[in-house]
Structure 1
Amino acid sequence: MKKLIVAAILIIAGATNADAQLLKFGIKGGVNFANFNGGVDGIDYSGRTSFHAGAAAEIKLFQNFSLQPELLYTSQGADVDGVGDFNLDYVAVPVLAKFYIISEKLSLEVGPQFSFLIDEAEEAFDNKSFDFAAAGGLGLNITDNFFAQARYTIGLSEASKDAEVKNAVFQLSLGYFF
């Protein structure tokens, strides 16, 4: 009977440890280098530097493949000469496929991003409330808990009803998985 109890405890402990490795939650934040792609002839757009912050999860599906959904507050947009600064604040939900190139260290991350406009500083353009984008980049697990990411997100839908512009953002992030 003692052997059966010890075996059950070991199985439960092993399953609990395995579950902890299959699902991780964390926080992340960093800098955005944002601009618009496309636009109206004669209007010059210049990039703006802003930030992003939020939560991330990693769901390990296979040895070198995970899904990484995130929930981020991200400030994007561009500065437009002669018109003003377009500060577009979104709640973004990227859902990334994470392919580990070097097991548990270096990963290639690609997937869609769904963004919902929550605030706009200027109202010269009639901005759309939803932005669909493609995201891709690299992730580096510095330790078991700390990670860094570099990502480029390119808008696939137009950010404004008035001008043919799409969001483009390069992000550098640092994060911590609990």
Structure 2
Amino acid sequence: MKKTLLFAFLILATISAEAQVTFKPGIRAGANFSQITNTDLDTKTDFYIGAFGALKLTRFYTLQPEINYSRQGGKGDISVYDSNTQEYNRKNVDVSLNYVSLSAMNKFTFSDQFNIHVGPTFDIITKSKNYNSTEVDMCIAAGVGYTLPMGLTIEARVKKGIIDVVDSYYTGNSYDNFNDYGTTTNLVFSLGVSYSFDVKGATK
């Protein structure tokens, strides 16, 4: 038993001695293809832009805090109830939900090029014109990345909210409810690029 513990300790000590902790700041940007679930709204195309700090703790694992500005929402024709005629009419609606997103992504690298990443996101709304919406959203994000030889990384990511974000919209004289199909949550598919910068002396 003592020999086993001693052997395990030596292995861990060797790994720790060879490990090199690095920190690289970076920027990221790309396109959002967002939806608001359980509504009649279609997919809306917009953009995101942000910055991150990649703290590489081991060869295979990097903790990557992020701050992003993300434009989301949905748009399309939805049914609006007219109380005068007591009929439903179709109305074109463009829901714009803009957030500052704080994320803690856990990145797992399997080669010098390929990685997967997953983590929680806390979104704070900055703009919601003419819509009743919650001030925050909690999400789970996951994605993949591929780094090109010049250091540019292509990223694809999906983000799913868990909070009921929108319950009504303004039609000009009153707030009307979305068709009640259930909880309305954010669903965002993102495609973009990121780039990290080398920082001298960022080693352990």
Match of 1:156 among 159, 162, 166: 162
1:36 aligned to 2:33? no
Deviation at 1:161, TM superposition (A): 4.4
Match of 1:69 in 2: 65
Match of 1:84 among 89, 93, 97: 93
Q: How many residues align?
A: 152
Q: Residues of 2 paired with 1:143 and 1:67: CA distance?
A: 22
Deviation at 1:143, TM superposition (A): 3.2
Letter in 2 for 1:58: A
Deviation at 1:107, TM superposition (A): 0.5
Q: Residues of 2 paired with 1:114 and 1:91: CA distance?
A: 8
Cα pair 1:85 1:121 within 8 Å, conserved: no
Match of 1:94 in 2: 103
Cα pair 1:134 1:153 within 8 Å, conserved: yes
1:56 aligned to 2:39? no
1:109 aligned to 2:117? yes
**What SS is found at the alignment partner of 2:164?**
coil
Q: Deviations over 1:53-103 (max 9, x none)?
A: 01011111111011111111000000141251001000011211111122x
Q: Residues of 1 paired with 2:54 and 2:28: CA distance?
A: 12
**What SS is found at the alignment partner of 1:62?**
coil
**What SS is found at the alignment partner of 2:166?**
coil
Q: CA RMSD in A?
A: 1.6
Deviation at 1:144, TM superposition (A): 6.0
TM-score normalised to the size of structure 2? 0.70
Letter in 2 for 1:100: T
Structure 1 unpaired stretches of 5+: 1-17
Q: Work out which of the two has the higher radius of gyration on C-alpha atoms and give 1 or 2.
A: 2
**What SS is found at the alignment partner of 1:143?**
coil
Q: Residues of 2 paired with 1:95 and 1:171: CA distance?
A: 17
Match of 1:27 in 2: 27
Structure 2 unpaired stretches of 5+: 1-19, 78-90, 169-177, 198-204
Cα pair 1:35 1:168 within 8 Å, conserved: yes
Runs ≥4 in structure 1, deviation > 6 angstroms? none
Q: Residues of 2 paired with 1:168 and 1:50: CA distance?
A: 13
Deviation at 1:135, TM superposition (A): 0.4
Percent sequence identity over matched residues? Answer: 29
Match of 1:13 in 2: none
Residues 66 and 144 from structure 1, CA distance in 2 versus in 1: closer, same or farther, beyond 3 angstroms? farther
